[in-house]
Structure 1
Amino acid sequence: MARVVRFYELGGPEVLRIENVDMPAPGPGEVQIRVKAFGINRAEALLRSGTYIQTAPSPSGLGLEAAGIVETVGEGVDGFAPGDAVSVVPPLSMVRWPAYGEIATYPAELVVKHPPSLSLEEAAAAWMQYLTSYGALIDIAKLGREDFVVITAASSSIGLAAIQIANMVGATPIAVTRTSAKKRALLEVGAAHVIASAEEDLEARLKEIAGPEDIRVVFDAVGGPIFEPLTAAMARGGILIEYGGLSPEPTPFPLFAVLAKTLTLRGYLVDEITSDPAKLEAAKAFIFDGLMSGSLKPVISRTFSFDQIVEAHRFLESNEQFGKIVVTV
């Protein structure tokens, strides 16, 4: 038996329950992990509330990333043994492979022996943010030296990862956040510039920082009305990569900016990387290099205990966090 988090109805954090369930042994090609920490992601709140791209059954588990100790391995698994410290690459389905629990089982190809310099809490906070940012900025946009990149929702874990990756490749990260409350913290973690979108004219500030049309890459989690000032400040041939949808308002299609500047507006999901073995290996190598060199270092906003899972989700939805929320088991 193991304790896991599940929910039986859609709703707020209060629908989450901790239950004891029987955990089957790992099947062929699988690794079973005794979880020591797991990261909290916005996608899990969306699944819980019924607004995610995947529909939750009843009951449903959830969770996309974890770190812990190998408990046992299934038939045909090489390279892992009981006692190994490992972390997990986000699976294609958190319903099929949930992370919120004392025990979790994953296909061996999604299990990673992370750099020993990382604590288990840091390892549980690493893979979703860095793989998401890598896929958008490096694999798709080919971000490089002398590029300007605009990063919205910059104080989220993915936003901070994007800032670190931009600096790692010599690009200039421009962080966009709603108010100036987190401005100093964003500058301290490597943002070259910070714009408070609720307090400043976003288009004017972008053009002031980067020139009238020098922003080639935008990495956006928000959508909504922000599309118009973002695209108005972009360079000809630029690309806006959308990976979220935090705005409750409709997202306008900036027709004339797209036509005049031949812009690319592209939707993106991290499983473009995790479902492609070659791309995943390239991503792992890039992220390992960054973690080993210290160029990439997970920022943990706050840690909760397993019994505080409801409070952890409430904190996520408060939007007060700066970096990743982690739960220890």
Structure 2
Amino acid sequence: MARVVRFHEHGGPEVLRIENLDIPALGRGEIQIRVKALGLNRAEALLRSGTYIQTPPLPSGLGLEAAGVVEAVGEAVHGFAPGDAVSVVPPLSMARWPAYGETATYPAHLVAKHPPSLTWEEAAAVWMQYLTAYGALIDIAKLGRDDFVVITAASSSVGLAAIQIANIVGATAIAVTRTSAKREALLKFGAAHVVASADEDLEARLKEIASPDNIRVVFDAVGGPIFAPLTAAMARGGILIEYGGLSPEPTPFPLFAVLAKTLTLRGYLVHEIIGDPVKLEAAKAFILDGLMSGSLKPAIAKTFSFEQIVEAHRFLESNEQFGKIVVTVD
């Protein structure tokens, strides 16, 4: 048996329970991992609360990212052996392939050997943030040298990953955060500019930084009223990639900016990369190269123990973090 985290009803962090369950037999093409660390994602809080894009039957497990040691491999698995240090690419369904547990089972194509220089905590914080940012900025937007890219929710793990990827390709990263509290940390992390949307005129500051209408790419996790100033500052033919909906307020459609500038507003899910074997391999190669060179390095906001999973989810929803929240598993 192994301890796992499940919830029997939707609600706040308090609905999470640690339970003992039998370990299922390995299927063909699967790998069993003894988990050392978990990376937390906002999608897990949404699944727990019943507001995610997937609504699984209850009780349900959850979790998208883990790192640990291979315990066993199923039939037709090649390239992995017991004892290998590995991390997990987020599955299309965390209810089908939950990470929150002492033991986790995954299809072999979603398991990766990460650079040995990474700690367990760092390895558990790799794939969701970098795959999400890579898919939007590199695969879709074709971000390159001399581009300006606006990154909202910049102190989130995905926001920080986007800053690092922008720097790798020579683009100028403009980090947007709510207040000035994280300004210095974002600049130190590699943002070329930081705009505090609650303290400054967002449209005016963006136009000042990038000159009027010179922002080709916007990578947004917020939505809501911020759409108006973001699109007003964008370049003709620019693209706004929306991958979240953190704002509780309605998101207006900026009709005249879209028409006048022939803008593209595009919804995006990381599943577009994970579900395409060719794109996934290209993304993994890019990310592993960055990890090995040191140009990509996960920022760990805070670490909790497995027994503190409820407290970890409370901190996840506080929006106080700078980077990834990690849970260690003994």
Q: TM-score per shorter chain, which class?
A: over 0.9
Q: Is 1:123 aligned to 2:110, yes or no?
A: no
Report whether the alignment pairs 1:254 with 2:263.
no
TM-score (norm 1): 1.00
Q: How does 1:168-187 map to 2 (within 5 A)?
A: 168-187=168-187
CA contact (8 A) 1:177 1:195 kept: yes
Deviation at 1:46, TM superposition (A): 0.4
**How far apart are 1:120 and its partner, in Å?**
1.2
Contact 1:48/1:56, CA 8 A, preserved across alignment: no
- Kindly provide the amino acid, as one letter, of the partner of residue 165 in structure 2: I
Give 2:36's aligned residue.
36
Residue 231 (structure 1) aligns with: 231
**Per-residue deviation, 1:25:** 1.9
User: Is 1:16 equivalent to 2:16 in the alignment?
Assistant: yes
* Match in the other structure for 1:95: 95
For 1:283, the equivalent position in structure 2 comes to 283
Q: Give the secondary structure class of the aligned counterpart of 1:217.
A: strand
Q: Deviations over 1:48-81 (max 9, x none)?
A: 0011000032100000010000010001101111
Fraction of identical pairs, as percent: 86
Q: Distance in 2 between matches of 1:213 and 1:182?
A: 26
Corresponding residue of 2:79 = 79
User: Helix, strand or coil for the counterpart of 2:237?
Assistant: strand
State the secondary structure of the residue aligned to 2:297.
coil
**Which amino acid is the alignment partner of residue 2 of structure 1?**
A
Q: 3-state DSSP class of the match of 1:212?
A: coil
Query: Per-residue displacement from partner, 1:164-210 (whole Å, max 9, x unpaired)?
Result: 00001000000000000000000000000000000000000000000
Distance 1:296 1:8 in 2: 37
| Counterpart contact for 1:130–1:162, Cα < 8 Å | yes
Work out the CA distance in 1 between the residues paired with 2:21 and 2:83: 23
Question: How far off its partner does 1:132 sit?
Answer: 0.2
1:96 CA drift (Å): 0.2
**Matches of 1:307 and 1:56, distance apart in 2:** 24
The one-character-per-residue Cα deviations of 1:82-106 (angstroms, maximum 9, x if unpaired) are: 1000000000000000000000000
Give the whole-Å Cα distance in 1 for the aligned partners of 2:58 and 2:281: 35
What value does the CA root-mean-square deviation take over the aligned residues?
0.4
CA distance in 2, matches of 1:76, 1:173: 43
Corresponding letter in the other structure for 2:83 = G
User: SS where residue 158 of structure 1 aligns?
Assistant: helix
The unaligned stretches of length 5 or more in structure 1 are none
Equivalent in the alignment of 2:325: 325
Show the counterpart of 1:146: 146
Partner of 2:156: 156
Which residue of structure 1 lines up, in the alignment, with residue 109 of structure 2?
109
3-state DSSP of counterpart to 1:69? strand
- In structure 2, the residue corresponding to 1:279 is in which secondary structure? helix
1:4 equivalent in structure 2: 4
Q: What is the SS of the residue equivalent to 1:10? A: coil
- Letter of the structure 2 residue corresponding to residue 285 of structure 1: A
Q: TM-score, normalised by structure 2?
A: 0.99
1:57 is matched with 57
Provide the rounded CA distance (Å) in 2 between the counterparts of 1:142 and 1:324: 26
Q: CA deviation at 1:117?
A: 1.0
Aligned to 1:303: 303
Shift of 1:267: 0.2
Alignment partner, residue 215 of structure 1: 215
Q: Which amino acid in structure 2 is aligned with residue 170 of structure 1?
A: G
5+ residue gaps, structure 2: none
Regions of 4+ moved over 2 Å: none
Q: Distance in 2 between matches of 1:306 and 1:318?
A: 19
Q: Hey, what's the Cα distance between the residues in 2 that align with 1:217 and 1:54?
A: 29
CA contact (8 A) 1:221 1:244 kept: yes
